Structure 1
Amino acid sequence: MGWFRRKRRSGGAAVVTPRGGRVCDCCNTPMEPGAGYLLATKDVVVSPAYWELNFRATKGLADELRLDTAQLSGLFQDVLRQTAGQHSPWSVCEECSGMFLVDRDSARAHSRAGTAPQGTGRVKPSECAQFAAEGWERIFGSWPASVSRRSPKDICDVCRRSVHEGETTTLVPPDRMAAYRAAGLVGTAAGLPSHPEGHTLCHPCSARLFAGLHRAGGDGGEAGDTGDTAAPAG
């Protein structure tokens, strides 16, 4: 469970893995030494997909304990505060790395060398509360009362998810989008809307695209390397 595993990380006994490896800080999968990626907290907490994963696991315990509204509100604030307060790098496995928009080559190099990425350290909960609240709403079905909801600024052309101010999006030219779809790097059940200037991808869809490109051995080590434009919405 993401919340409780992260909570133990700073003070509990180390998790023993084969040959001195680590476990993924997102899914607890054992990792070989130097495998995967090392990410800073600032890169993890702006991922809506990460928060959904975290709260999906948290909901199981919340349902089992039959927490009331006030307790759920406290749980959200605790998870937000503890996650944003992680001061050391996050170990992330290959599968979970597709949730994050980072320089993948650099993150992998840090994992191999055991060095901390630039910007490693705690972040203010207020800097990621919107992303956490969105994940909470998708899993628990309600927006946390402690977070003011921002109006959507855009919509993802792939998954039709609302994009809020401050979220990193990618603008992909139509010809590149056609190539990505043909290669299976961007999936959508419906046809894409016609946008001559390019298609907007939300953070989760952007992260999956760049991860797919990187795994295929092409560009995509860092958001923007493809010639697509990545920028915060708003």
Structure 2
Amino acid sequence: MAATTTRPTGTEDLLETAQWAIERLGTRAQYAQAYAERTLEVRVECLDGEVLATCVEPREGLACMVREDGRWRHRAFSVAQLPSLPTWSAADRSVPGADLPAWPDAPDARFTPVAARDWLVRGAAPAHSLRTMEDFTLRTIAVVDTDGVRSAGTTRVVRRRAEATVTHDGNRYRGLSRWLQRGPGAGTADRDAVPQDVARIAVEHAHDSARATLGGRHRTPVVFGPSAAVGLLHELIGHALEADNFAMRSDYVAGL
């Protein structure tokens, strides 16, 4: 699904800031690119109708990449560091940084997370445990370079996930479900129905797994398509080759 972009207040301000950076970095560089970003991420995790954790992470700043004398350089600047940008590169240092555009004000997120108890599935039986996560991202970006690129946009995304667990004959079975919405209205509509629908599907999947029976022992040739084959090999072999597994001395690597 392609991201939906809009142009609210603040997008033009980010473009102006990225353009300001290019005017200072591109005076002597063979190529320069400035990427300005303002992002708000919110995550709420719940368990059986109670909030477990809430994380709010704002992120903003400017990233620059230049090619000077055949050599590539890059650096990220926080908002407070922006006045020092003209002195970082071999650009014309006589160009002052006092005319730095004002950084845009925080956007109107207009997001309220689902209440913890609104996830619970009414009348669901038998007993189950339900873990849910809701992620909200509001990201505004602007990109300007010396080749004439000048682009900006805002993406609003809400993602909801549910993991249900049921116990049957001493064994635990899990069911998963997820929901994703992009666009200006993400997270503002269908607040009563959608969370319970996501949770209900997860519970149903868990019950389906608990009712499944072994169909006997036999071998069947299986042919994977390209995407599925790549995913399978990555999970079975790729992770085992990653350096962090060796650094942490994981049981997974030790058992190979």
Fold equivalence (TM over 0.5): no
TM-score of the superposed pair, with normalisation by structure 1:
0.24
Identify, as 1 or 2, the structure richer in helix.
1
Q: Which structure has the larger Rg? A: 2
